[in-house]
Chain A
Amino acid sequence: MRAGKIENSETMLDIEKLRKQNHSILFIGSYPAIIQSALDYEFHLGRDKPSIKAIFASGRKFERYFFGKKEILLPVYSSWERIPEKIRNGITLFVNVASARRVLTLTVEAIDSLPSLSGGVIFAENVPEKHALDLRAITDSKNIFLIGPASVGLLIPETLKLGAIGGVESQQLIDAHIFDAGSVAVLSASGGMTNEIINIVTGMNKKISFSMSFGGDRFPLLRPSEAFLAAQNDPKTKTIIYFGELGGVDEYEVASLISEKKVTKTVIAYIAGVVAEIFPQAPQFGHAKAMAANQKETARAKRDVLAGVGVKIAESFSQFVDLIESLPSVPDDKKSNIIEDMSDRKHALIASSISKDTDGTVSILGEDLLSFSKKNSFAYIVSSLFLGKKIKSPEFEEFVDFVLRLLVDHGPYVSGAVNTIIASRAGRDLVSSLSAGLLTIGPRFGGAINEAAGNWLEGVMNNKNPGEFVEEFAAKKKYIPGIGHRKYRSDYPDPRVSEIISFSGGLKGKFTSFAREVEKITVGKKGNLILNVDGAIAAVALDILSEKEQYSNEELLHLSEIEFFNALFVLSRSVGFIAHFLDQKRLDEGIFRLEEDQVAQAEIHKE
């Protein structure tokens, strides 16, 4: 008592449209061999840059791949919000290689988050049937196609290779001669047989118009009948080669498409599974669907129904090969013969994006070192190198220049200076003494700019109101980084802070405003809880980067994660530490030692 025939439907898979579009591809999950093979495919097509834009996965920020023999870094994003809008809004296709458990959630999220999406491929095996049906219901209401689950993907020669289809090794792609487009569409539920047939076709000097595997699951999202319609609608396709298996009733749908003249192109087919006749009980073959529940689902019955509507049915695989051989041949392809061998490439040990040395000529951010340093101020060079790209605004350059000068030293009493002085007096050299000072920099000394930046960002990004923001810290009994001073108070303000804040003049300054709003609340609690130098630098730097350098909030968050904001302090204060070292050496002070009365013998009182 199984379901009967289902209605013929249109398909969202438009091969000709996909050929004409410019694609931006997102990989959901990371499967390096598949990603590399898709990059290789595009490189061999002669593209100058890949259409794979990003990977959605957890872990590192970048993954390294080759584009040709050159190494490239693909950005990795762990949440949809983190993908810069420009990339996210441009994604047209995805390949979901995540595990079966995550397929439903991630695919639904992708559909919701990617406004320009045309479609995607789902690679994982073992996706629950119900999830496939849920996804089908979703795609039915949207203008997209989904291929899979358990699909090796879609190949459109001269255009794209979306998935493992065609192979994952560079040499396999070259040997398969799949770079030039022809007129033969290869369709199958079986990924392995899709590739086998592609190789048979191209091995006989015929070329593929497109090829896909819809996957061997019971409910493929893109049904075989839809693939046939896509082949029918494709102007390049003249012949459809279909490999089917016992199990399911897909071939009945295909047969009715043919008998209703909705598919009129030549179809050559082989339906595997007559071997099931020698089994005592209906066996489950490799694919989830490959089991004949009744007579109608047997290979024999399906061969008969297809033969009945004029499909060229092969009774054996060698006959199938003969039918393929009888198709017209085309001249040898151009592209596959000029492809360079990729077997000798290997990954570098280090990747760098800011400078290089080519035969003794050093360049910084793409410019010759000498001209770069002659042309630019120190602050410009520092900000550009720290950000990894040339800054655009005089505002940021001026601000960094001021900060570098302002933070240079804060007297001999602060802990970093003290450590430098002690190391110097112990007879250590310049680098050791400087290091002693630098090693002091951390959460309580000098390291608050970065933390403050992270907190201002979090407050603004999550639209927190300043009161709520302060209460969160109070509840955790924690100080707010960037707030509070030992000496200065609201009625005795720190003159440096107003100087810093003056750099936000003329800006919208959402971060600075937020910081000031927070300050209003904290000084209400205690007079010395003012916005301090660290908090002010963080807020103003965020505002200038956001408004003048067009950094998105996500990019700013990333800067705070990599400690960019502390870098300014570390660089500037190194000057002060070096100065203290030299000063001590000039004074020739002896070794430093504490007297007895300078150390208290602590006794801990217990109740």
Chain B
Amino acid sequence: MARVALSEYAAKMALHTFLGLTYHGLSFNADTDVVEKINEFVRPDRKYVVKVDEGVKRRMKQGLVTLDTDLNGVILAIENYRKRGYSYFLVEEYVPHDSSLEKYLSLERTTLGTVVSYSHKGGIDIEKHKEEVETLLLKDLQAARSVAEGLGMDEEVFLKLKEAFDDLYFSFLEINPLVVKFDSFQILDIAGEVDSAAEFFVQDWSSSDFRNARASKLTDEEKNILRLSAKSPAAFKLNVLNPDGSIFMLLSGGGASIVLADEVKNIGHGGELANYGEYSGNPNEEETYIYTKNLLSLLLKSESDKKVLIIAGGVANFTDVRITFKGIINAISEVSEKLKDQGIEIYVRRGGPHQKEGLKLISDFVSENGLIGKVHGPEMILTDIIHEAIK
């Protein structure tokens, strides 16, 4: 995987812990947590903030934040957000503050080093005064000093924050607003992205804290593939573009899969493209079977009356064609009658280790089961399979 959004709760907890500060907040999963959790957390004499905590951007503008409310308000807000498809929430005490103290700070890991953007005017309207945002590369102490000065912050405190950014493997961290009072500060709102590849090296967050802004809209099949990918050293991706599309693609290779998808769009059939996805990194037979099974489930559900399955990829370096094709065949064989009933055709183009055996297996399978389709090796130009499949 790559950069992923961390829940605001986990980001705040990890940062506060690193800085030796305490953080009081309630992370509430409406699908699994009981309402008593809120009752225990909320005190009758205090006011609270409720936020949707799913990596969604511009929450305030989308009405996904409720400010200055009591117990009943908290429960009501969560109920309303649930109706809009959200499950994860953050409840915190409402901190009234002077909005003139609101600053903006973001850090991002780039190819040159850490780039900092900051402004003494923060808050939800940051986009409106973009020209006041300073951006600089944090290349030495002098650079850190000017950021600290610009924010009216103690230099040591800022450096500690930068250390937290590195040690917690953040890739991107945006604090807005940041309320600064020289040697202390309050982090009111955080958007944090971490490097999922670093999970092994940190204790303060884990993959269960990752949030996907699209999660509420994902199909079961997409969720299954996210789980499959998380568990495997190989890589799997599946995005549904159009559930009732007619072109379903079972692709391999990060690069080749984009080329093949591009070609569908290039020849004017982008609107019929049901999915984008790929498997790579030499998955085993079982994993390829699971991947295929989920894709086939989407394929069979589609209401389109003319459907096609394209199994394609480049000439692999080390992904074993025979083994991955065995997994694909196992999954197809479970639904081959349904594929025939729906008149779904199968088009294959692939190369790589043991391609001869792999291509023969699938070619024999297609003909022995009376399926309609064509099988090609690398002698066919990669994208020609798209032309053959979409006549």
Does B239 count as interface, using CB distance less than 8 angstroms? yes
Stretch in contact with the other chain, from B67-75, B274-282, B361-369 = B274-282
Instruction: Please encode chain B, from 126 to 138, with 1 for each CB lying within 8 Å of some chain A CB and 0 for all others.
Output: 0000000101010
Does B206 count as interface, using CB distance less than 8 angstroms? no
Kindly identify which residue among A1, A191, A273, A288 contacts B258, using a CB–CB cutoff of 8 Å. Answer: A273
| A194 vs chain B, min Cβ distance (A) | 8
Instruction: Please encode chain B, from 110 to 146, with 1 for each CB lying within 8 Å of some chain A CB and 0 for all others.
Output: 1111010100000000000000010101000000000
Does A301 count as interface, using CB distance less than 8 angstroms? no
A274 with B266, Cβ < 8 A, contacts A172-B353, A190-B253, A286-B280 known: yes
The complex places the Cα of A291 from the Cα of B4 at a distance, in Å, of: 12
Evaluate contact between A3 and B115: CB separation under 8 angstroms. yes
CB neighbours of A538 from chain B (8 A): none
Does B316 count as interface, using CB distance less than 8 angstroms? yes
Stretch in contact with the other chain, from B30-38, B179-187, B380-388 = B380-388
CB neighbours of B318 from chain A (8 A): 33-34, 152, 164, 167-168
Evaluate contact between B169 and A128: CB separation under 8 angstroms. yes
Residue of A nearest to B253 (CB): A192
Instruction: Please encode chain A, from 122 to 138, with 1 for each CB lying within 8 Å of some chain B CB and 0 for all others.
Output: 00011111100100000
CB neighbours of A299 from chain B (8 A): 262
Within A177-227, the residues touching B (CB, 8 Å) are: 188-196, 199-200, 203, 216, 218-219, 223
Residue of A nearest to B254 (CB): A286
CB neighbours of A315 from chain B (8 A): 266
Residue of A nearest to B354 (CB): A169
The complex places the Cα of A315 from the Cα of B263 at a distance, in Å, of: 10
Evaluate contact between A272 and B262: CB separation under 8 angstroms. yes
Residue of A nearest to B251 (CB): A286
Does B259 count as interface, using CB distance less than 8 angstroms? yes
Kindly identify which residue among B166, B356, B378 contacts A199, using a CB–CB cutoff of 8 Å. Answer: B378
A190 with B254, Cβ < 8 A, contacts A129-B171, A130-B169 known: yes
A317 with B382, Cβ < 8 A, contacts A167-B315, A172-B352, A283-B276 known: yes
Does A245 count as interface, using CB distance less than 8 angstroms? yes
Evaluate contact between A317 and B262: CB separation under 8 angstroms. yes
Main secondary structure of the interface of B (DSSP, over half): mixed
Does B55 count as interface, using CB distance less than 8 angstroms? no
A193 with B253, Cβ < 8 A, contacts A278-B273, A284-B2 known: yes
Evaluate contact between A275 and B270: CB separation under 8 angstroms. yes
The complex places the Cα of A291 from the Cα of B3 at a distance, in Å, of: 10
| A106 vs chain B, min Cβ distance (A) | 15
CB neighbours of A126 from chain B (8 A): 1, 196-197
Residue of A nearest to B4 (CB): A284
Interface residue tally on B, bucketed by range: 35 or more
CB neighbours of B239 from chain A (8 A): 279, 283
Does B313 count as interface, using CB distance less than 8 angstroms? yes
CB neighbours of A270 from chain B (8 A): 259
Question: How many positions in chain A have a CB within 8 Å of any CB in the partner chain?
Answer: 69
The complex places the Cα of A540 from the Cα of B265 at a distance, in Å, of: 78
CB neighbours of A273 from chain B (8 A): 258, 262
Within A132-188, the residues touching B (CB, 8 Å) are: 133, 152, 164-169, 171-172, 176, 188
Does A428 count as interface, using CB distance less than 8 angstroms? no
Evaluate contact between A196 and B256: CB separation under 8 angstroms. yes
The complex places the Cα of A275 from the Cα of B275 at a distance, in Å, of: 11
The complex places the Cα of A245 from the Cα of B258 at a distance, in Å, of: 8
Evaluate contact between B241 and A279: CB separation under 8 angstroms. yes
Does A243 count as interface, using CB distance less than 8 angstroms? yes
Kindly identify which residue among B196, B201, B255, B316 contacts A286, using a CB–CB cutoff of 8 Å. Answer: B255
CB neighbours of A281 from chain B (8 A): 214
Evaluate contact between A317 and B270: CB separation under 8 angstroms. no
CB neighbours of A166 from chain B (8 A): 317
The complex places the Cα of A194 from the Cα of B252 at a distance, in Å, of: 14
Across chains A and B, which 8 residue pairs bring their CB atoms closest together, nearest first?
Answer: A190-B255, A286-B254, A192-B253, A196-B314, A193-B255, A288-B2, A3-B110, A128-B198
Q: Spell out B's residues near A (CB within 8 Å).
A: 1-3, 106, 108-113, 115, 117, 133, 135, 137, 166, 169, 171, 195-198, 200-201, 214, 233, 235, 237, 239, 241, 252-259, 261-266, 270-271, 273, 276, 278, 280-281, 313-319, 351-356, 378, 381-384
Q: List 11 A-B contacts (CB under 8 A).
A: A101-B200, A129-B198, A164-B317, A191-B317, A194-B317, A218-B111, A272-B255, A274-B266, A278-B241, A279-B239, A285-B257
